Amino acid sequence: MFGLFKKKKTIFEVQLNQLSELGIFMRLDLKKELFLEETSRIEYEEDPYNLLLLTLGGEVEVNGEFINVSDEIWYLDAECIEDHGDYARVIMRLKNMTKLNLNKITDYVDIQNSTAWASFEYENELTRWEMKVDDDWLDMEIFKKFNELTQTEQSMKLYISILDQGCLVGYFNQEQVIELNKLTKYKFEEY
């Protein structure tokens, strides 16, 4: 009788396939066995979709180089702005996710003097964003600003799920977000 109330586990491969159907893929040059090197199949199946999204959003070391596991989801530590180049790295990752044609990406970060900005060229126009300085925390308005750039593109937007110090960032259409929010405890919202 107690078996009736037992939560049904979702097999690891089923989770991978379902996320792939929603447009979240692991890089083609990676193998799924890589996921099982640090986290067991049982752990993925006890926390279906949630742990896998965090893993897909992370980086792995391959031949001494860190690479993104997926280009469609990003697990970002929001306490990541310490010096010059940090906003440029964030913009580069968002550029790769959104496929926007951004060039001449640069930034300036001076935490002690409360000054930070990022700039880039988009559609032959130079854009500069002043960023709010709050110790070493990312100015989350960057996602809203990026969505303003992408609004002329497809029906896709950056959606964020805030997780304490970190967040999951994805570039999805509304239908993908609805389905993803059904699968996971992490709720994605437009920022």
Q: Which amino acid is at 119?
A: S
| C-beta separation of 79 from 140 below 8 A | no
The band of 28, judged by pLDDT with boundaries at 50, 70 and 90, is: confident
Reported as a single tens digit per residue, the pLDDT across 95-119 is 999 999 999 999 999 999 999 999 9
Ranges assigned E (strand) in the chain: 59-62, 65-68, 73-77, 102-110, 115-122, 125-130, 157-163, 166-172, 189-190
pLDDT in tens, 153-183: 568 999 999 998 999 999 999 999 999 999 9
pLDDT in tens, 68-98: 999 999 999 999 999 999 999 999 999 999 9
pTM (2 d.p.): 0.89
| Cα 52 to Cα 58: distance, rounded to the nearest angstrom | 10
